[in-house]
Amino acid sequence: MKVLVTGGSGFIGSHVVDKLRDKAIEVRVYDVVIPTFRKDIEFYQGSILDRAALGFAMSGVDAVMHLAAVADVKDVFEDPYYAESINVRGTINVLEAVRCSKVNKMIYGSTTWVYSEASEDRVTESTPLHAPSHFYTATKLAGEYYCQTYSKLYGLDVTILRYGIPYGPRARDGAVIPIFVEKALNGKPITIAGDGSQFRKFIYVEDLAEGNVMALKSTARNKIYNLDGNEKITIKQIAESIQKILGNVRIEHIPGRPGDFSGKEVSCELAKKELGWRPKVSFEKGLSKYIEWYKERESSRNLDKKKIDELLER
């Protein structure tokens, strides 16, 4: 079997590639960015806006995992027009390429943010959805709807996966865990707004990637699955876990922000029952792995800088 991963050079996509390879599944990455995480992967450089290139990339492929997107909500906020072109038009381009080729299956990486306006606090895949407040969510929902209509109109086998908030090695800087870790490792205090009791569920990125591979099962045909973590982690717990792992970390409290979103309880029962998927890595273990990776990345960057200085001083 061969799987094409769009966005396979990114944070989640690169781990999906690793998990596919662990199962001896062949992989082709389709991305605008060259993958830096491993060298043994077939790579097609191209944009999902380029329909001809996408068509070529489908040859010899059995399934497509579509993860390429403008995934950072801040980038979407800054340039909604561009984000729409990639997340919505790009998704229909991938669907069209799948439809026009002999590919049997497509998996679409969506988000649990689609539940952000749900009236219930505990949500499942069948919870009714409401118009989203964030444009990012609107683009991801549009992608979901396109997948569903392609499945109904053209008989495509499409599985939608709604990811929770991922963390782990290769995460981009800017989210709460990377910010806290960066501060702690640089001797700065970690600041918590309010008492830190706001919770989130985080999903360790390798567990999430495993869920993508499980979604290749035939039982996943035309289904939607939530893939989220199973531990409620408060902001205070994140800070304290970092303190426990690294020692000698200061935690400071500042006044809370009003109306801080406290998250929905996303049920993953369906993925457990039908795919046999469940998150395996505890938050503390996943956090330790992230910190290890972060430290290695920083020391290799420092080494590079040192090498350049030495080279230029010769």
Ligand X SMILES: NC(=O)c1ccc[n+]([C@@H]2O[C@H](COP(=O)([O-])OP(=O)(O)OC[C@H]3O[C@@H](n4cnc5c(N)ncnc54)[C@H](O)[C@@H]3O)[C@@H](O)[C@H]2O)c1
Q: Are 105 and 147 in contact (CB under 8 A)?
A: no
The stretch near ligand X (CB under 6 A) out of 1-9, 233-241, 243-251, 256-264 is 1-9
79 contact partners, CB below 8 Å, separation of at least 6: 70
Question: Does residue number 7 form part of the binding site for ligand X (CB under 6 A)?
Answer: yes
Judged by CB under 6 A, which of 3, 107, 109, 181 binds ligand X?
A: 109
Q: Which CB, 71 or 242, lies closer to ligand X?
A: 71
Question: Does residue number 86 form part of the binding site for ligand X (CB under 6 A)?
Answer: yes
Judged by CB under 6 A, which of 11, 146, 180, 283 binds ligand X?
A: 11
Judged by CB under 6 A, which of 64, 103, 123, 165 binds ligand X?
A: 165
Reduced to 3 states (helix: H, G, I; strand: E, B; else coil), residue 83 is helix
Question: Does residue number 224 form part of the binding site for ligand X (CB under 6 A)?
Answer: no
Q: Residue 180 CB, nearest distance to ligand X (Å)?
A: 16
CA distances for 50 relative to 60, 92, 93, 286, angstroms: 19, 12, 8, 37
Q: What is the DSSP letter of 175?
A: B
Question: Does residue number 163 form part of the binding site for ligand X (CB under 6 A)?
Answer: yes
Question: Does residue number 168 form part of the binding site for ligand X (CB under 6 A)?
Answer: no
Q: Residue 146 CB, nearest distance to ligand X (Å)?
A: 13
Judged by CB under 6 A, which of 1, 33, 100, 193 binds ligand X?
A: 33
Amino acid letter for position 189: P
Site string for ligand X, 45-84 (x = CB under 6 A): --xxx-----------------xxx-x-------------
> How many other CB atoms are there within 10 angstroms of residue 176's CB atom?
16
Tell which residue, 212, 221, 271, has the closest CA to residue 13.
212
Give the pair of three-digit tokens for residue 152. Answer: 């109904």
Please compute, for residue 214, the number of CA atoms within 13 A of its CA located in the half-sphere on the CB side: 22
153 contact partners, CB below 8 Å, separation of at least 6: none
Question: Does residue number 196 form part of the binding site for ligand X (CB under 6 A)?
Answer: no
Where along the sequence are the contacts to ligand X (CB under 6 A)?
A: 6-7, 9-13, 31-33, 47-49, 67-69, 71, 86, 90, 109, 111, 140, 163, 165-166, 172
